[in-house]
Amino acid sequence: MSTAKQRRAARVQKWMDRYWTRVRRAEQAGDPRAKFDAAVDLLRTALNHTDPARRARTLTQLTVAIASEAEAINQRYIAEGRTE
């Protein structure tokens, strides 16, 4: 493996370690918002360090996934009779 690939692998491992540390802390504190924030920060870091084509594909996939999950949550609220 080349030196550049080794450095990149080390950076990615550092990002992942930092992410999982934050997730463990959030789980111990019982804070789902902190867990979500950690995931968003990891995604932002990954998107900032990738090529434009991969970034566009990733954002498209995320948009579809988030939209479908939001629709499912909305349907559950409607089914439960919640309109707020």
Residue-wise pLDDT for 43-74, tens only, equals: 888 888 888 998 899 889 888 888 888 898 88
What is the per-residue pLDDT for 84? 57
d(CA 9, CA 80): 47
Task: Please provide the size of the chain in residues.
Answer: 84
Smallest CA-to-CA distance from 31 within 39, 63, 69 is with 39
Q: What is the DSSP string of 39-71?
A: HHHHHHHHHHTS-HHHHHHHHHHHHHHHHHHHH
What is the per-residue pLDDT for 25? 92
Are 60 and 45 in the same domain? no
The number of folded domains in the chain is 2
Are 45 and 56 in the same domain? no
d(CA 33, CA 39): 10
Domain residues for the domain of 84 are: 52-84
Are 38 and 65 in the same domain? no
